[in-house]
């Protein structure tokens, strides 16, 4: 069994770091993807404590300290690939880790900004299969992952599916209504996703949101877990 945990930890974690780390330890995950990770003193503390939990392989998408980026931490050996030389905006918003059996992409995609990161991801998954993509996509499918139609990039999510990836939560739970982030007005949005290559779908045993972490204000996003059997 391999357990993934994907979580937007909200602006680097701040004063919530101790609670975040305690929650992560209880989940007994093997591979982590943190969105809104910040490579500053707080980020250094997170990485040190994750080392103590056995996450010996750690990679960050961006060196600047105050910019929201992505951390992948793993108990299994892997090699990272950065996209800082890609001539596209927000190239630090994606990081890849290559394992023996799959390629993992951690994302923190910009909210309602023009970007070509889905083009990058589609190019990558065509070159490197089987693939998983997980993190805060800051978009979803209109009228499905929110009540309204304000999402950008719905068509790009559908393109991922055309290219052979599946929404792991929908694969397990069908049309169940759930949201991973709420506005101050109480409107729910499913911003956080895990997409899994068709070749890996038979391994999916569970995929769900851990809403208690958001409800207890450890972050404004609910973490996701994915269990491979």
pLDDT at 162: 95
Average pLDDT over residues 169-188: 97
Q: What is the pLDDT of residues 92-141, one digit of tens each?
A: 999 999 999 999 999 999 999 999 999 999 999 999 999 999 999 999 99
- Which residues sit opposite 193 in a β-bridge? 135
CATH of the domain at 17: 3.60.10.10
Q: What is the pLDDT of residues 44-59, one digit of tens each?
A: 999 999 999 999 999 9
Segment (H or E) for 156: helix 154-162
CB 8 within 8 A of CB 226: no
pLDDT at 65: 83
Q: Tell me the C-alpha to C-alpha distance, in Å, between residue 115 and each of 5, 15, 90, 110.
A: 26, 31, 7, 8
**For residue 63, is pLDDT > 90?**
no
pLDDT at 86: 83
Domain that holds residue 73: 2-228
**For residue 64, is pLDDT > 90?**
no
What is the C-alpha separation between 87 and 39, in angstroms, rounded? Answer: 22
Question: What's the total number of domains in the chain?
Answer: 1
- Which residues sit opposite 73 in a β-bridge? 32, 58
What is the C-alpha separation between 166 and 41, in angstroms, rounded? Answer: 37
pLDDT at 85: 81
pLDDT at 66: 87
**For residue 29, is pLDDT > 90?**
yes
pLDDT at 154: 97
């Amino acid at each position: 069994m391999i357990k993934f945990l994907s979580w937007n930890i909200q602006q680097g974690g701040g004063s919530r770091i101790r609670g975040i780390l305690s929650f992560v330890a209880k989940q007994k995950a093997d591979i982590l993807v943190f969105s809104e990770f910040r490579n500053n003193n707080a980020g250094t503390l997170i990485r040190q404590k994750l080392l103590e939990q056995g996450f010996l392989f750690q990679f960050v998408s961006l060196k600047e300290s105050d910019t929201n980026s992505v951390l992948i931490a793993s108990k299994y050996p892997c090699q990272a690939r950065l996209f800082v030389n890609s001539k596209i905006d927000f190239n630090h918003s994606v990081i890849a880790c290559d394992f023996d059996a799959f390629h993992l992409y951690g994302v923190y995609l910009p909210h309602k900004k023009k970007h070509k990161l889905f083009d990058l991801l589609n190019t990558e998954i065509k070159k490197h299969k089987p693939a998983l993509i997980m993190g805060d996509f800051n978009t979803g499918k209109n009228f499905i992952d929110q009540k309204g139609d304000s999402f950008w990039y719905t068509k790009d999510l559908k393109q991922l599916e055309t290219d052979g990836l599946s929404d792991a939560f929908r694969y397990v739970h069908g049309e169940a209504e759930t949201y991973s982030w709420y506005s101050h007005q109480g409107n729910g949005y499913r911003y956080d996703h895990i997409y899994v290559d068709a070749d890996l779908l038979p391994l999916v045993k569970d995929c769900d949101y851990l809403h208690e972490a958001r409800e207890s204000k450890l972050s404004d996003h609910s973490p996701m877990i994915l269990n491979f059997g």
